[in-house]
A and B are shown apart, each in its own frame.
Chain A
Amino acid sequence: MTPPPGESIAAMIRQTPVPPDSQTNRDVMNIFMTTPGLGWLLLVGICLGGLGGGAAVWIYQIYKGLGIAGYSHPIFWGAYIVTFVFWVGIAHAGTLISAILFLFRARWRNAINRSAEAMTIFAVFTAQLFLGIHVGRIWKAYFILPYPNQRALWVNFKSPLLWDTFAISTYTLTSLIFFYVGLLPDLAIARDRTTGWRKALYGSLALGWQGTSRQWKSHNRTVLHLSGLATPLVLSVHSVVSWDFAMAIVPGWHATIFAPYFVAGAIFSGFAMVLTVMIPVRRIFSLEHILTNYHFENMCRFLLLTSTIVTYAYFIEYFIAWYSGVEAEKTAFYLRLFGPYWLSTWIMIVCNGVIPQLFWFKKLRTHIPTVFVISTLINVGMWFERYVIIITGLSREFNPAVWGHYTPTWYELMIVAGSFSFFSILFLIFLKLFPVIPISEVKELVIHERAHASGQPAGAH
């Protein structure tokens, strides 16, 4: 475009017109830009109720004492720790999907990793609540942090609980970073398409991202490294949680298999939770073309795998208990199956060991309602797994004189329910505030496909 003589080139400057937006953008934006419907509000309302109830009970418990829970000698840990471990378990799917599958270059993860990561973070938050709910003197709980204090006292780094403290907080922070870094480009997209407070919010969070190649380059590298860090972290966190038990001498806890066993269990429950949550989400926001059955089927395959590992672990536990010949161990495991807690044990075995085996059949893997039901059952089963490990272990220990029994009280159940509400509220807000689907990653695929469609291989020339 050579300029006509005499005219300055500056005269030719004009703004490039903005053409119609991309399909992907619109699809995803619709989810969280549209004003919340009645159903959403209703859900939030219900959850707020549950949350309020839980909070009230917690306050009462702090005032009155942990006696309002079902504890007794010798069962010093109960529903709170059970639920704590449960949530930590849930927290594993997210990072796993994002990190490990990223490293394995499993493309199908794109559709789900954002919501999975969100779940991770919310689950960890919820789990951390339970550490506070569990301790007897929460007003002194800061003792557990190794901060410089006038007493010249430090903490006991030999205690698995302290490892826990470190592992969980590391996991929280790392997951947050991971989540945010992944979110960055999408925030920019949102920024460019919103006005008012949303623009302000996304704008400030997007840090002025423009997708320049320098940004993308360091972004890729960052995601790669974070994945590299997160992968061992995921494995370590639940190992550490498992050591809370494995390091103790309680019969039924003191087992070397616990670390891998718990990690597998965590991934298992995590994936189940992702399914339980995403199936309705997909339905409500009609994302069938992004969240395809292909994705769900892959996750079912994962469930099948982890379920088999977990079942194997169950079996090994019993085998070793028998093989060791230690009477306390043998008794503990015998009474697990046939003692006062037989019901919980069988729920656990059926839900985690038997039912998931149905996923061998492609028909069931791809039949979404079935998948939903099974994944929910797995969540139940996994809660009971922790219940069985903790309660039966403690109820039948070395000294038969202090064998005891535990039944959760309503107070405890209300707090547990409250925790589910807490988690749900966070997720519901997330649905309405951030792109549930990682837009840029999906776009990457879309553009690739377009390139192929248009005949020429991308990048080749």
Chain B
Amino acid sequence: MPEIHRREFLKLVGASAGAAATVGCSDPVSKLIPYVIQPEVIVPGIANYYASTCQECSAACGLLVKTREGRPIKLEGNPEHPINQGALCARGQASIGRSYHPDRYKTPMKRVGDKLEPTTWDDAIAILSGEIKRAGNRTWMLGGQTGPTASAWIDKWVEAVGAGGRVVYEPFAPEALREATQALFGVASEPVFDLSGSDLIIDFGSDFLESGPSPTEHARQFAEARDIAKRERGGARFVYIGPRLSMTASNADEWVAAKPGSEGLLALALLKVAIGAGGGTQAGRDGVAAPLAKIDIAAVAKQADVPLATIERIGKALGAAKSPVLLPPGVALASRRAAATARAVMLANWALGAVGKGVSIPAPRDGKLPSYHQTLALVDAMKQGSVGVLLVHGSNPVYSLPPSTGFSEALAKVPFVVSLASMPDESSERANLVLPDHTPLESWGDAEPRPGIRSLVQPTLRPIYDTRALVDTLLDVARAMGADVAAKVPTDSFRALVEQAWAGTDFHAALAKGGVFAAQPGVEVTLVGSAVDFEMAEPALEGDGDFTLLTSPGALLYDGRGANLAWLQETPDPVTKITWVSFAEISPRAAEKLGGLVFGDVVEVETKAGKLSLPVVVRGGVRDDVIAIAIGQGHTVGLWSSGTDSGHPGEARGVNVIDVLPALTDESGGRAWLLTKAKVTNTGRHEKLPICQDSQNQRGRRLGLAVPLAELAAGDAHVEAEHGAADAVPGAGESAPGYPAHGEAAHGEAHGSHEMIKAFDASMDRAPDSPYRWGMTIDSDKCTGCSACVVACYIENNISIVGEEQVRRGRHMAWLRIERWVGDGNLEGGQDRLPIFPDAESSSTVDIRIAPMLCQQCGAAPCEAVCPVIATYHADDGLNGMIYNRCIGTRYCANNCPYKVRKYNWFDFALERWPDPMYLMANPDVTVRGQGVMEKCTFCVQRVASARQIAKNENRVIRDGEVTTACAQSCPTHAIQFGNLVDKTSAVAKAGSEPVRGYHSLEELNTRPAVTLLAKVQRGTVEG
């Protein structure tokens, strides 16, 4: 580990020598630094796990924080937590980077002249308390949602210091939905959707797998509902209604590219057909009779630009469905009539008897809730100069409020702005005083995602810098303002506060478990009589132009909060596979209209509110009259979120689409996003985009396969045709552990059809005496493409971030990438250097195969044979070993790998791309690769090795499930199974022996992969 690091490293944690160093160079940590007082629990070299809660979004998933020598090195899902049950999404995985972020404020900062300068806490607190005293009730607080305890206390504090008030601001708050529930059932709370029991899911564009209310949870339920093995008739059908084939939509059976804004009408039309076909509950039928009478299906079909037949077909299916779930529109489709739309959808849910089954209405939360119109009101107040002190925390309004609200100017009118951010962002850069907050890993806290599920946040990292938790800061302010003020908020620290709030529970048990999980059932609701008559019409759109501007939350960057986390920038967009930059999606026909635009051509998008120019991606997955731009890029502050990587400090990375949105709300005063038309003009410029998948056309090669449900039922399938079931997993379905024996037998006959492929000697797949042959199965019917595994892999294995320019040059280092294939593909494309998005993507029956690709640990590995120095070889337990320190970098292995899963260190990325203090989160069990070395996935061999130690000490073999890879662990849908193929009872062997769907990628090459993919199931269009 390089010299420079040591001092800080030791300052942080006394630990025995050994942390990240690069291969081939070993600058000795020449000192051995013991603890002064060694904590009981810490044994250097052994990881400790602490339960906590993820703070990235409101879903509040449970965490297990893996720490080594006192510093968190990875976040894993808490298996006991009811929300995520052991899985963790990409954003959650990446959030560990916040604590080790090079950008972080290291001390309080105060504005001197036009820039912020470090100061002391005492000074800062003194200044702030003074200002608040002066401003009195002209003090306001603007911030994101915090945990219940903090939230309640802050309200008290606001009162105590005599501030004007506090506004909670979340860009993506589901206010319309709450409003709708209130109107329909008289209960003001967001309904909770449980998809696991459903047999027909209709999503009106909520994108619940990426940006929905609880993506990890819903992904799991979605997979359960569609589990081909457990559910009859191939499990639930999924219809996606929306203008863009998003990541969620890619998992649908059918895509109805309805005109954006028409969702409410469609919902009612579908409901009408469904009820006509005898669907719904008795009460429901009666209840909605009146409003449905007004609905003219044919008219709706015309308005929504959806074939009448489709509406009728899906409607009938809806009527026939036993337990359907309809999901109301999410952010992307929140129009000015969002409340009505949500109401229509919820009404349909109720009429079809879903409420109480798949949809439950929880008791309303107490405590302050996000409110957009309050925010706007505050902005007006600021404009009038009636705000003296503004404290901003947990949000970045300068970035996420549309400029048309005039927030920026209003902020200029506020004499004293205080930011409690832990990392610089557009808002904190405008502050007069910055009081840096702890990161979630350093702080206490709690969360209550839904009634009864209380989840704890506990510090797992000694604060790296001189920061304080929000509550403690405010507490100090109160104290500084005088004993009387302090007395009104009686507590001695945030920790005490949390313990206090959890009084009555066994706090330590809760800490150990991660919280108290006693989910309360939803409240019984009845329809409010008057609720059914409401005006459901298409929303009006601002401005003119022949495109509707669709602004959807970034699948990884969400509302932009992820933009400064390198992993989220470098992980490709699940649909287009583009990293680091903004882009607009338009359909081929639209591109034609605009003068034959191609991938990478730069267009100018103009609305009433402004204009911006960005490159286009031309793909079939978008309506012709829609231009789709993701939210999240366009920051001007931050190491990775701004343009600094491309060498222009302060310049924006990509564009912030919010800049061109008008500041308008829906009927309920909630924030609306689907607002405006846009003019699109071709600038004639062209950009090379940093894309990670050159073609989504697999040209009929056996990379991502699919089986029609019918064939699956019949038990024969083209997947199996060339390829014996027993062979799906090497060694599966073969009796004695005499594993070698199987090879010739099963395999020989399996490949009988190819005279070119000889039976391969399976005994070479692992050492004859080895009890293990590690293998993996990946179920592409379950994989949603959410990319959680990718980020998990990055962090577990110290994989380098290479940055925009290097990705553009095709030097992406991910060991595990997710390939997205559109159908079987055809032989077109490839003549030029443009990526290929097959037209098939536009068809309404979705046939997208998502096939994660990682090292296949081949039994007959092409890479091994060509390495001159045996740097890669076949290990005893069947792994394809990669010995970094032996590699001389001929790169022959990578040439010869048909899967192209070997990545090469073109530069000393480890040195160049790990700014301090990021090295602190490096996994000490994995060598950091240096310049000129080949690297690749080895099934997290460090985990296997650790498990083997335990097993050896108890001299037994590693049990099934005792060890798993980072990717499998993070997967919300359990699409990835890892285990020992020699053990026929292991989960992986069972999964892989799936008779029909099992196949090996590119198996005609006879590389005998240890990774078995399970073909996607084509469930076809939904039928009544």
Contacts and interface: CB of A to CB of B under 8 A. Distances in A.
The answer to whether A and B touch in the complex, with CB atoms under 8 Å apart, is yes
Interface of A: 64-67, 71-77, 134-141, 143-144, 153-156, 158-162, 165, 244, 247-250, 327-328, 331, 335, 338-340, 394, 396-405
A160 B866 contact: yes
B764 to A, nearest CB: 13
5 contacts: A137-B931, A144-B868, A165-B868, A403-B694, A404-B810
Nearest to B894: A76
- Give the most central of B890, B904, B934, B1002: most A CB within 10 Å: B890
A398 B833 contact: no
B831 A400 contact: no
Interface stretch (B255-263, B784-792, B895-903): B895-903
B817 interface: yes
Given A153-B870, A159-B866, A250 B896 contact: yes
A340 B831 contact: yes
Interface string B62-103: 000000000000000000000000000000000000000000
B590 interface: no
In the A-B complex, the 4 residue pairs with the closest CB atoms: A136-B889, A136-B932, A72-B810, A67-B906
A73 B819 contact: no
B502 to A, nearest CB: 49
B908 A143 contact: no
A247 B931 CA distance: 27
B900 A399 contact: yes
A135 B892 CA distance: 10
Contacts of B932: 65-66, 135-137
- Give the most central of A165, A396, A400: most B CB within 10 Å: A400
A331 B868 contact: no
A338 B24 CA distance: 44
A156 B905 contact: no
A402 B830 contact: no
Contacts of A338: 831
Nearest to B869: A143
A140 B890 CA distance: 11
Contacts of A156: 865, 867-870
Contacts of A137: 24, 887-889, 931-933
B697 A400 contact: yes
B462 interface: no
Contact of A403 (B830, B866, B887, B934): B830
Given A135-B888, A401-B693, A327 B699 contact: yes
Nearest to B930: A137
B862 A248 contact: yes
A72 B827 contact: no
Nearest to A72: B810
Contact of B833 (A64, A249, A394, A405): A405
B811 interface: yes
Given A76-B895, A162-B868, A249-B898, A64 B907 contact: yes
A339 B886 contact: no
Contacts of A340: 831-833
A158 B892 CA distance: 13
Please classify how large the interface on chain B is, using the bins under 10, 10 to 19, 20 to 34, 35 or more: 35 or more
B812 interface: yes
Contact of B695 (A136, A144, A247, A403): A403
Interface of B: 24, 693-701, 703, 806, 809-812, 817, 819, 825, 827, 830-833, 836, 853, 862, 865-870, 886-892, 894-896, 898-900, 903-908, 931-934, 1002, 1005
Given A134-B890, A403-B694, A249 B896 contact: yes
Contact of B703 (A73, A399, A405): A399
Given A143-B888, A161-B868, A399-B898, 10 more contacts: A65-B906, A72-B810, A144-B869, A159-B868, A159-B892, A161-B892, A248-B892, A398-B701, A398-B898, A401-B819
B892 A402 contact: no
Contacts of B694: 400-404
Contacts of A155: 868-870
A interface, over-half SS: loop
A77 B896 CA distance: 11
A403 B832 CA distance: 11
Contacts of A403: 694-695, 830
Nearest to B693: A401
A394 B902 CA distance: 14
A152 to B, nearest CB: 12
A250 B895 contact: yes
B888 A141 contact: yes
A373 B891 CA distance: 37
B24 A394 contact: no
B865 A159 contact: yes
Given A155-B868, A155-B869, A331 B830 contact: yes
Given A73-B811, A140-B24, A65 B869 contact: no
A247 B866 contact: yes
A155 B886 CA distance: 11
B899 A399 contact: yes
A338 B931 CA distance: 36
A156 B886 CA distance: 12
A402 B1001 CA distance: 14
Nearest to A399: B900
A401 B693 CA distance: 5
Contacts of A140: 24, 887-888
A398 B1002 contact: yes
A136 B810 CA distance: 18
B883 to A, nearest CB: 10
Given A73-B812, A331-B827, A401 B817 contact: yes
A338 B932 CA distance: 34
Nearest to B832: A340
B700 to A, nearest CB: 6
B827 A327 contact: yes
Contacts of B701: 327-328, 398-400
Contacts of A73: 810-812, 894, 900, 903-904
Contact of B907 (A67, A328, A400, A404): A67
A387 to B, nearest CB: 15
A403 B831 CA distance: 11
A397 B831 CA distance: 14
Contacts of B900: 73-74, 397, 399, 401-402
Contacts of B903: 73
B896 A65 contact: no
Given A144-B868, A156-B868, A327-B701, A66 B831 contact: no
A67 B831 CA distance: 26
- Give the most central of B24, B833, B894, B906: most A CB within 10 Å: B906
B891 A77 contact: yes
Contacts of B827: 327, 331
Contacts of B931: 65, 136-137
Contacts of A165: 868
A394 B830 contact: no
A100 B464 CA distance: 75
B820 to A, nearest CB: 8
A76 B900 CA distance: 11
B986 to A, nearest CB: 28
A131 to B, nearest CB: 9
Nearest to A143: B869
B866 A72 contact: no
A155 B695 CA distance: 38
Given A72-B810, A400-B695, A159 B896 contact: no
A394 B904 CA distance: 15
B936 to A, nearest CB: 11
A76 B891 contact: yes
A248 to B, nearest CB: 5
B810 A405 contact: yes
A399 to B, nearest CB: 5
A66 B906 contact: yes
Contact of B811 (A67, A162, A399): A67
Nearest to B932: A136
B905 A65 contact: yes
Contacts of B904: 66, 71, 73, 76, 136
